Amino acid sequence: MPWGALPTDMRREVDAAVGGWRAAADEGLDVALSKLASIFMEGKGVLQNKEAAVRWLEKAAAQGNLEAPVHLGILYEEGKDVSRNASKAAQFFEMAAHQGHAAAQCTLGGVYEQGRGNSQSYCGSIRLLTKEK
C-alpha cells in the first residue's frame, strides 16, 4: 500500500517505529543501522531513498555488522542502486571475509581468481576457497 494511502494513525505508528530505529542507529547499534538501510532501500514506511540506504549500510559495515559489507559488495559489483565499482565491491567483500563470513570468503575467492576490482591472485583465491569453516 502506498505511503499516502495509509490511514493517519498507521502512519504515526510507522513514523514512531522508524524514529526508534533512528535513535538506536544514532547510538551506533549496528543492527539498527542495517534495519534503517533496509527500510530506506525498500521504502517501508518512508519514501524510498536508495542513497540513504547505502549510507546506512556503510555505517553498519563500519560498526562491524557482518551482513552490511556483503550487501554493499553485491550492490557495487552489480551496479545496482549505485555506480558499478569493482574495487569498492572487492573491499567490502574483503571486510566481510576477514570477519569470517563464509559466502563473502567464497565470493572474494572468485574476485581474486578473476581479478575483479583488484589484481588477479590465484594463490589468494585458492587460500580462500579451500579455507576450513
Which of 40, 36, 42, 81 lies closest to 59, judged by CA? 36
pLDDT-based confidence at 56, cuts 50/70/90? very high
Residue 130 confidence (pLDDT) above 50: yes
The torsion region of residue 73 among left (phi > 0), alpha (psi -120 to 50) and beta comes to: alpha
What is the pLDDT averaged over residues 88-116? 83
CATH number, domain of 124, equals 1.25.40.10
What is the pLDDT averaged over residues 96-121? 75
Does residue 70 contact residue 87 with C-beta atoms inside 8 Å?
no
pLDDT in tens, 76-85: 999 988 999 9
Its pTM stands at 0.76
In this predicted structure, what is the pLDDT of residue 111? 77
CA distances from 82 to 24, 31, 43, 77, 86 (A): 26, 22, 16, 9, 11
CA distance 71 to 87: 15
- Count of residues in the chain: 133
Residue 2 confidence (pLDDT) above 80: no
112 and 125 belong to one structural domain: yes
Please give the mean pLDDT across all residues of the chain.
82
CA distance 17 to 11: 10
Geometric angle at alpha carbon 77, from 88 and 44, rounded to 5°:
100
Domain count, the chain: 2
Q: How far is CA 84 from the centre of its chain?
A: 15
115 and 84 belong to one structural domain: yes
pLDDT in tens, 13-50: 888 888 898 899 889 888 899 999 998 998 877 888 99
In this predicted structure, what is the pLDDT of residue 69? 95
49 and 106 belong to one structural domain: no
